[in-house]
Structures are given as structure tokens and as C-alpha cells.
Structure 1
Amino acid sequence: FQVISAEVNEEKTKALVIGKAYTGKAPLSSEIYLADLTTKTMEKMSPAGEFRYASAHFINDQEAICLGHDCSRYGINENARFYSLDLKTKTKKLLTPNFETSTWNSVGSDCRFGGGESMMIDGQYLYFMTTERDSSYLNRIDSSGNMEKVTTENGSVDFYSVKNGNVLLIAMRDLKLQELYELDDGKESVITDFNHWIQKERKLVKPEPLSFQSAPGVVIDGWVLKPVDYEEGTKYPGILNIHGGPKTVFGTVFFHEMQFWANEGYFVFYCNPRGSDGKGNEFADIRGKYGSIDYDDLMRFTDEVLKVYQDVDAERVGVTGGSYGGFMTNWIIGHTHRFKAAAAQRSISNWISMGFTTDIGYYFATDQIGATPWSNHDKLWDHSPLKYADQVTTPTLFIHSDEDYRCWMPEALQMFTALKFHGIESRLCLFKGENHELSRSGKPKNRISRLREITDWFDRFLKN
């Protein structure tokens, strides 16, 4: 029996447990159980049927709010909906039939510290986070399905605490690092001053929004950082940065690596292509399409940047990204020669090898690509950057960690070796004792080394 989550009631006499009982291959579905902590017994509460529960929370002893989906519309990454669960009759009722938003914070930054619950009960409300376009917000819902936004400021709500309606937030606003905020009648006031020094001691660049229509009815949101001390009429190198996920978002909050590159004399540009979070299920759904519509969005965004910001030297543009962004970097260099240098971080090169080694689960590649090695080997290979390694001419740096179990070392080793095999200049930098989170929570000395490796690589091919 696998316990996925457990929520204890206020009296600490009962618990709502989400779990699954199985032998052999774990199912995608799960169940909700009510555990009596006094008698040490457990009873299944969820109705019959395949369902993937994300959370369950007591409203009172007779009623709970749960969150989940059946994967039928958009696969494993489908945004969950809210349901009420009657703990006496074991009946479930859909509360939010038109709710298409993710219930977590997926706004990217490499400058966060700490952690916290993404959902919590206070009184008759379940508080939860959403990611909408380029920002995350705190919301609440009651057992009747009445939902309201608690915060309205753009940026990132990272963590929060609620007691008797009083709300404290750890948030990132504008280019400020994390601070503690108090919410009073919907208005935020900052109550700490841990990180304001960076506004005074460093030169920061405000992201400039750049949105465009990539396809009929499809608007892609992006941003551009100009180089620090930018002089109009002077040509500068540029870096396209691609986020991971793919179901996450870039926004306007502080991102250290990109501010660093702007201080090093680069234009830095980034966007949220199809596959990203923030715009509902349909926008995020690129199952079976990896390397197609998302690649098109990124290339059209690059075209738009070069058109609007004519001081970006089109002959000196590099590309980088991590995880999904690493996959896309590997994909890009096999499909275009427009980038003069690349840095693929914690990347995927081969869906066949990745699919049954990754700690994300056996189902991820099958769901996202739409095949197994036995049902359609060719489809997995067609979406693998390694297939196109013989087309690469771009000098490429590979950054990987030896304890990365999300995208294992062989993903970098295969692509690196393939490029060497075909005579393409490449370098592999492996970090010992680090994992998939190197760029965000790695050891300080290794984070510095990683950023220096990437920057030196770009300096070599884009500046010299």
C-alpha cells in the first residue's frame, strides 16, 4: 500500500488518506480513505471508478473537499477540479466544472528558500494557489464551490500561512527577492527587509514584455532583458533561455542567472511556449507534439525579438535551458543552425532510454509522447533529439549531475558522445553529489561553477 498524502482533522482523531493498493505496476489512479486514529481502522471513502486524487481536506467531520481528475481529457498533467465528498454517504459532487487552472505555483525562479504547504484549511475555506499567465495567486474555496482570489498582486506567492482568516505570505514582487508580507483586507504590506539590499547594491534590469501571435488564436507571452548599461545602436549578443516542465511558466520575478547574463553584456529573452502552464489545459497539452508546436513558438519568438530589438546581433545568439528546456535545447540544435552556441542542462536526449529510468514514473514518457517502445518505437525515436545529432553544427555544452534521477546521466552522455562522434565541438561538465535541482538548490560553490561554465561557453562563441 502506497500512502500519497494524509490530512489529520482538527481533533487529531481522524485522517483522510490518499493512497493506492497494488501488486506489480502501480496504477495511475488512487483512492481516498478515512482512517480512525483511535481504533486504527481505515475505510475507503472514494466512489468506484478510475480517478487520480491530488489532495483531500476536512471541512468538518461529515464533509471534505478533494481535488483530482481521471486523466481522460488531457492525460496525467490535466489540471484537477474540486469536488465535495460526503463522508457519510461516500458520494462525490463536482464543484468546479469550468475550472481549468493549475492549483500550484509554477512560476520559475532560481532564488527561493524554504518550503510550505500548497493547500490548507482555515475555518470553512480551503486555501490554495493557482498559476495564471505569468503569476501565482492565493485563492480560497468553500464546500459549495464558491471561489475567490485572496491575492491580486502579480508575481509569485511562494508560501503562506492562514489562521482565523489572517494571512501571511512569502512572496516575490517585481524584482525583489523573497520577503514576508501581511495581507489586510486584500492589500499586501511587506513586514521584513531581508533582501532589499540587492536593489541598492546591484544593477538589475526590468523585463520588458513581448507578446505575439504564434498561430491563429495562440498568443505567446515573452520578455526581454536588455544588457546593463545598454547603449542604443550598439550590437550585443543574445541568449534564448527555455524553462523546464514543460508545464511551468516564466514571469517577471527575479531570476538570478538571467540578471547575471544581462550584467555580462547579453540580451536575454524568454517566453512561455505551448506546453507551458498558466493558460489552461488546452494550451498546456502538447502530448505527442514535443518538438513541433513548442519548437515553432520558440523560433517565432526569437524572430520577433530580433525584429523588435535590432541591437541583438542575429549572428551571435545562444540557447540554453534545463530539464524540458534541456530537451528543447538538444532538439533545437538538431533542427536549426541559427544558434552559435548552446548549453543543454539536465536534459533529455532519448525518450526510449529516459522513459523507464526516470524517477518521475514509468508513465511520463508514455503519456507525453504517446507511445511505449513496444507500441510505437519509431514515435519515441522521432521525438528524441539524439535521432538528429548528425545534423548538429552548434558547439554545445552539457551540464548534468551524477545524482539526477529525473533525467539520468546517460541522457547527457548519449548526446555529448553523438556530437563528438560527428566532430562537433562539445563539452560535458558533470557535478558530483548534485541532482536535478543544481541550478536552484545546489551547493553554492557548484551553482557558481555551473553558471561560470555556461557563461564562459557563451563568451567564447558569442563574444570572441
Structure 2
Amino acid sequence: MSKRSVQVDDFTSLQVLSDPQFAMNGQDFFYVSTTIKDKKNYESHIYRYNQQKQSQWTYGHHQDSHPRVSPDGTRLVFQSNRSGTNQIWLMSLLGGEAEQLTTLTHGATNPEWSKDGKTIFFSALLDNDDDVQSQRELTKEEKEKKQNEKKKQPLIVNRLKYKSDARGFHDDKSMQILAYDLQTKQITPLTCGGHHHYFQDVSPDGNTVLFTANLNENEDEELYLDLYTLHIPTRKITKINQQKGSFYQAAFSPTGKYIACFGHDFKYMGATLTDLYIFDLNNQTETCLSYQWDIQLGDAMIGDTRLGASQTGPVWNKDETALYFIATDHGATGLYKSDLNGHLEPIYHNHSHVFGFSYDSKSDAFIFGMSTPTDPGNFYYIKENGKMKQLTDANKDYLNRVTLSEPEEIQFTTSDGWPIQGWLLRPYGFKEGKKYPLVLEVHGGPHAMYGQTYFHELQLLAAKGYVVLYTNPRGSHGYGQKFVDACRGDYGGKDYRDLMEAVDYALKSYSFIDETRMGVTGGSYGGFMTNWIVSHTNRFKAAVTQRSISNWLSFYGVSDIGFFFTKWEHGYNLLENPEKLWDFSPLKYAKNVETPLLILHGEQDLRCPIEQAEQLFITLKHLKKEVEFVRFPGANHELSRSGEPQLRIERLNHICRWFEKHL
């Protein structure tokens, strides 16, 4: 059977795997599979891998996630919105229906077991005076009535951090840590107050909870996250870290002697590489294991189909001599190990995207999730120094039906001596001797990374007959601290030149590219750069700017991150140097735009608010430039990755339409 080309809505048929969790026998594991239910909704279910077979454990048109197996291996706790709001549910692994444990008005999330299996810790948004014992979940009708009443009331704002792209406008509720006693079936709040408390781990003896929070009086003006322990019997809270910074993904060692976590000190603001820290609780010492590594810890890969959270580390080995984690390096992510002296070595690192893992201390084995440019993702089994074994075969039918383009890596040196990595996809049905149009894709961030992962939009453009070029210009992760910091204070400078020289390199190296038919697109920072490109060169014949930034003067005050991000990336706040911010703004150069420009933006985007698109559109339209503006109702900054499926389809259709018209 001949394979067809990729189609716009193919992403709706994908099964996206995440969050592998070993069962107690060290062989079976649970995981989450997310699919698209219909034009408006996603659904996710929990599966079990047992003796080389996969079986579905939860059903229905809802979202089940965060499965965690009890220490004795007999029960599974998870979160689900099957009742209408995310709550905590429990099921026996011997069979039977799931039991709902919580009925909190605003839901409950992220359950974790105590080491003795008697308590389940979880998180919930609470008001200061909430009585968790008497709370009940609202009915659908009650929710709708409350939402309608809220829409009629004015919003009183007295904080800098009063909105976020993920939550929308904030209220007075804060994230708290609670404990559910399985014997008494009572819920006990462990934290309270107006500050968010983020659960990290519980000590081996069950007496201490580890969490992160900013408990400072000026928390509203800071982005620090400190590390704390809470002694449950006495409620005593102790701060662990000594230096200022942001600490997260923290975990007790098996004996409780140490804490390991990721974090950084904001030395390079948002471009600071993540470090790996060890805290010795007995000696009250703090050690940075990664100070010589020059590698980004965690997963900085950009894609448009990855759904669901997964563990990226750090995770302790069984005898407290090493830590396991994912790290980002040169267009790929891998699974790594470090001893307590900072000796770094890979367990698995190849041309791929390792997006999550689970470690079993009994067998010293790993289950890890991995994606490649031609595979949306599967789970694999590996032991240290052992052979890798594929366990799942998700999306087999889809991959047997379509032709995917395998990326060709490019590497070149810029005119000022910087090495740049990128990739090129040849179009579907490629024939030697024929000329093809090119589309340059620019990633967001800017401190993120293109690389060896499945990316539906890139494959779609190749399927539509375009050569697709995507690179990691300076400012991207994966190439060390100096590289990721290099675009700060220089937006539209050498980062722009890197992209233009990448196009020059591709034209010189691949004779099948038609330099008279080139397009460019990108989102967020990539949208800013698209705006910058079309206002500084006419070499592109079409452009699509997505969720973009056009005016840094207004971005400062309207974005949920503008009040600090502007200073981080440009060195100035609005009142400190408005002239410099205007110089960085593509809107200043709108009169130079000759490239037909399509503007795509979500109505509810609070990260790069839609007024950025409105200013650009009105200005270009007033200047009688060729421009079109598409607004996506209800969509936030995550439209391309996790937005409403029908709107994601519409977005891709508009991109293809614009390039087809002009290229």
C-alpha cells in the first residue's frame, strides 16, 4: 500500500503517551495516553503495560492522569475530571470501580503516596477561610451560574501578578498542600495562607513534607521559589536553601539525609542554565553538582503534539550515590546520570527527544518516553550499560499510512565565528532537478530549542511541497550558557543575522531551493522575529506571524510577564529607556514591510496579548500594506500545542492557505 502525504488534521488521530510509572514488581508500568475526542475536547486515560501487553484501565469521555501506584503495589491513585472538576480517585489493582476521595469545590490535583501507604498528599486551590471538610463539588448548573455572576462583577486588582496565560485572571485562592488519611477518610490541610505552596516530596519516615514557595512579604514583585520542609506533627517550617534563586523538582534521598533539586540563581535572568543542587540536611550544606557542565537540565525541546506531564528528574538511585535526570544538548534530549561529585555521564543519548522516565530501584532499570522526527513517541526499557528495548508501538497504523520527511542536519559557522545547528526537511514526493519553495520556521522562547522530535506543523509544510528550514540561532538552549545568553539585549541583531545566514547556507548547499519563493513563520519570540524579518528585508515573499510581539513599549504593561521579561531580555523597563524599547519594536519599522503578512493570534492570549497583533495590523493596513488578521476566539498562548482541536486545524489551514497563495 502506497503511503500518502501528511494532512492538516492528522494530529487529531495521534495517541500521545506521557508519565510512565513503574509498578512495584519492577516490570509492569502505568502510563497516560491522550487523544482528541472531538473538535473541542481532549481525553486522557490510564493504561497498564503488563507482560508485553497494554490494557486500558480507565474509560469515558474525560481526562484521567497522574497515576501513582501505592507502596504495596495493590492500589492506584490518580486525578480525574470525570465528576466535572479534577478530583482525587483511588482504584484497586485487583479490579473494581474507582472511588472518589475528594469533592473540593475548586478541585484537587497531583496525588502522591506516603511511604507507608496510609496517606495521600495532594494539592488544591483554597481560600484562606475554606473548610475542606464541608466542601462539596459544584454541579454543572451551579458552576455556570457562578461563572455568569462573576462576569457581571468588576475585577478588583491590587497585585502585579493578577493574571497568567494558564489561569486567566487570578482570584484570592492559593495552592495548598493537603493530606488524605485512608483510614479515617479525613482531609487535613498542611499549609495555609495567601502564598502558593507547591508539593515536592514526602520524607521516607512520612513526617516531613518538602515544598517550594515564596513566603516573602514582597513576593508579588519577585520570581524566587525557596525550598522548605514542613514537619507534619509540629507544623514547623524550615527554609533549606541559603542563596536566592528558584528551586523546583525536589526529592528526598532514600534515607532522607539529602535533598536533590533543580534550580538557578537568575544570574543571566531567564537565560540562566538550570543547575543540579544537593542539600545535606545533617550538615546543612548546599552543593551545586553542575557548575562545570554547561548543559541545560530538563527538557527544553519545542514541539506541537506533546501533551501530558512527565518526570524529568532529578531522581535518586537506591543507594544515594547517584542522580538521574533528563538534559538538553545540541538538538536532542537524553537520560543522564551524575554521582555526588558531579561526574556526568549519559545513560541514553541519541538523535531523539527523551521526554520523561521512571526509575525502579529494585531492578536498576528505566522506562523512558522517546520521540523522534518520524515518531510521535513510545516507551522504552533500558538498564545502565544495557540494550534499549521498545515496549509500545503507539500510532503504528498512522505511521504505516503516511510519509514523513526525515530531517537532514545542517551545521555552519556564522560570519562572526559562531557554530549554528539546524535541520532541513525535503518536500513530499521530492524529485531531483525540480525547484521548491522554502519556509523558514523560527521557534519561540527565545530560550528553547528545535530538535529531534515529532513536529506536525513542520511535517505538514513538507507534505504541502515546501522545503522546511528550522535552526537554533543564538539565544537557543542546547549549546551552553554563553550561547543561550547571547540574544539578550540584542533582539533583531545577531540572532536575526544567524537566521539570514542559515537561509544563505541552505541556498548555497541545496540547489533545489527556489530563492524567489521563500516564506517565514514563527510564534511568540518567533512571531517577533517574523515581524522583524519582514520589516528589515524583502527577500521573503510571504510571512505568517503567530502570537507575536510588535511593540515592546506596550508589551511591558499588558503581558502577564511583561513587567519582568522586558527588563530580563532588553535590559530596560518602560520608564528606564522607552527609546531603546521602541528601537527593539518591529512596529517602528512597519513602513518598510513589503512582504504579504498574515497575522494569527488568540483572543485570550495573556502572554503576548492580542493588542500586539491589533497594533501591527492597523498600522500596516493604514499604510496600505498587504496584511490579513485572523483572531481565534477563546484561544490563549498555547493554541498551537494544546488549544481547541478545531482551532488548531483552522490555524494550520490558514498558514497553508497563505503560503499557497503567495509562494
TM interval, short-chain normalised: over 0.9
Cα separation, 1, equivalents of 2:595 and 2:561: 30
Q: Is the 8 A contact 1:177 1:196 kept in 2?
A: no
- How many pairs are equivalent? 460
Q: Are 2:284 and 1:102 aligned?
A: no
**Offset at 1:430?**
1.1
Q: Kindly provide the CA deviation profile for residues 56-79 of structure 1, in whole angstroms up to 9, marking residues without a partner as x.
A: 32223232223333223x223211
Q: Which residue of 1 aligns with 2:580?
A: 379
**1:180 partner amino acid:** F
Q: Which residue of 2 aligns with 1:430?
A: 631
Q: Which residue of 2 aligns with 1:395?
A: 596
Cα separation, 2, equivalents of 1:97 and 1:270: 30
Match of 2:296, SS state, is coil
Q: 1:287 to 1:169 in 2, by over 3 A?
A: same
2:407 to 207, 216, 219: 207
Listed as ranges, the matches of 1:233-312 within 5 Å are 233-285=433-485, 286-312=487-513
Cα separation, 1, equivalents of 2:620 and 2:654: 19
Q: Is the 8 A contact 1:69 1:80 kept in 2?
A: yes
Cα separation, 2, equivalents of 1:142 and 1:311: 49
Q: Which residue of 1 aligns with 2:368?
A: 169
Q: Which residue of 1 aligns with 2:517?
A: 316
**Offset at 1:19?**
1.7
Q: Which residue of 2 aligns with 1:148?
A: 345
1:7 to 201, 206, 209: 201
1:158 to 343, 355, 359: 355
Deviates more, 1:11-20 or 1:453-462: 11-20
**1:108 partner amino acid:** I
Cα separation, 2, equivalents of 1:219 and 1:207: 19
**1:418 partner amino acid:** T
Q: Which residue of 2 aligns with 1:133?
A: 330
**2:481 partner amino acid:** N
Q: Which residue of 1 aligns with 2:535?
A: 334
Q: Which residue of 2 aligns with 1:33?
A: 228
Cα separation, 2, equivalents of 1:110 and 1:418: 31
**1:439 partner amino acid:** S
Q: 1:398 to 1:138 in 2, by over 3 A?
A: same
Cα separation, 2, equivalents of 1:414 and 1:161: 47
Deviates more, 1:22-31 or 1:273-282: 22-31
2:213 to 12, 15, 19: 19
Q: Is the 8 A contact 1:137 1:157 kept in 2?
A: yes
**Offset at 1:333?**
0.8
Q: Which residue of 2 aligns with 1:410?
A: 611
**Offset at 1:137?**
0.8
**2:344 partner amino acid:** M
Match of 2:292, SS state, is coil
Q: Kindly provide the CA deviation profile for residues 63-112 of structure 1, in whole angstroms up to 9, marking residues without a partner as x.
A: 2223333223x223211322321223432123232122111212222222
**1:96 partner amino acid:** S
Q: Is the 8 A contact 1:56 1:66 kept in 2?
A: yes
Q: Are 2:247 and 1:53 aligned?
A: yes
Cα separation, 2, equivalents of 1:375 and 1:78: 23
Answer with 1 or 2: which has the greater Rg: 2
Q: Is the 8 A contact 1:139 1:148 kept in 2?
A: yes
**1:117 partner amino acid:** Q
Q: Which residue of 2 aligns with 1:370?
A: 571
Cα separation, 2, equivalents of 1:118 and 1:423: 49
TM value normalised by structure 2: 0.67
Cα separation, 2, equivalents of 1:252 and 1:94: 29
Cα separation, 2, equivalents of 1:116 and 1:177: 15
**Offset at 1:345?**
0.6
Match of 1:362, SS state, is helix
Q: 1:461 to 1:372 in 2, by over 3 A?
A: same
What is the identity percentage for the equivalent residue pairs of Structure 1 and Structure 2? 37
Q: Kindly provide the CA deviation profile for residues 222-267 of structure 1, in whole angstroms up to 9, marking residues without a partner as x.
A: 1111111112222221111111111111123322111111111111
**1:225 partner amino acid:** L
Q: Are 2:239 and 1:44 aligned?
A: yes
Q: Kindly provide the CA deviation profile for residues 259-302 of structure 1, in whole angstroms up to 9, marking residues without a partner as x.
A: 11111111111111001110011001121011101000000111
Q: Which residue of 1 aligns with 2:391?
A: 191
Q: Is the 8 A contact 1:274 1:283 kept in 2?
A: yes
Q: Is the 8 A contact 2:353 2:452 kept in 1?
A: no
Cα separation, 1, equivalents of 2:229 and 2:305: 39
Match of 2:468, SS state, is strand
**1:33 partner amino acid:** Y
**Offset at 1:361?**
5.9
Match of 1:454, SS state, is helix
Cα separation, 2, equivalents of 1:45 and 1:261: 49
Q: Is the 8 A contact 1:65 1:143 kept in 2?
A: no
Cα separation, 2, equivalents of 1:311 and 1:153: 29
**Offset at 1:451?**
0.5
Q: Is the 8 A contact 1:151 1:186 kept in 2?
A: no
Q: Which residue of 2 aligns with 1:182?
A: 381
Q: Is the 8 A contact 1:319 1:329 kept in 2?
A: yes
**2:352 partner amino acid:** G
**1:175 partner amino acid:** T
Q: Kindly provide the CA deviation profile for residues 112-142 of structure 1, in whole angstroms up to 9, marking residues without a partner as x.
A: 2322222233422432211100100112334
Q: Are 2:257 and 1:65 aligned?
A: no
**Offset at 1:329?**
0.3
Deviates more, 1:391-400 or 1:189-198: 189-198
Runs (5+) with no aligned partner, structure 1: none
Match of 1:98, SS state, is coil
TM value normalised by structure 1: 0.94
**2:559 partner amino acid:** T
Q: Which residue of 1 aligns with 2:429?
A: 229
Cα separation, 1, equivalents of 2:203 and 2:324: 16
Cα separation, 1, equivalents of 2:446 and 2:581: 17
Cα separation, 2, equivalents of 1:192 and 1:50: 43
**1:415 partner amino acid:** L
Cα separation, 1, equivalents of 2:222 and 2:305: 35
Runs (5+) with no aligned partner, structure 2: 1-194
Point out 4+ residue stretches in structure 1 off by more than 4 angstroms. Answer: none
Q: Is the 8 A contact 1:226 1:268 kept in 2?
A: yes
**Offset at 1:7?**
2.4
Cα separation, 2, equivalents of 1:343 and 1:371: 29
Q: Is the 8 A contact 2:333 2:349 kept in 1?
A: no
**Offset at 1:393?**
0.9
1:113 to 291, 294, 307: 307
Q: Which residue of 2 aligns with 1:359?
A: 560
Cα separation, 2, equivalents of 1:177 and 1:30: 33
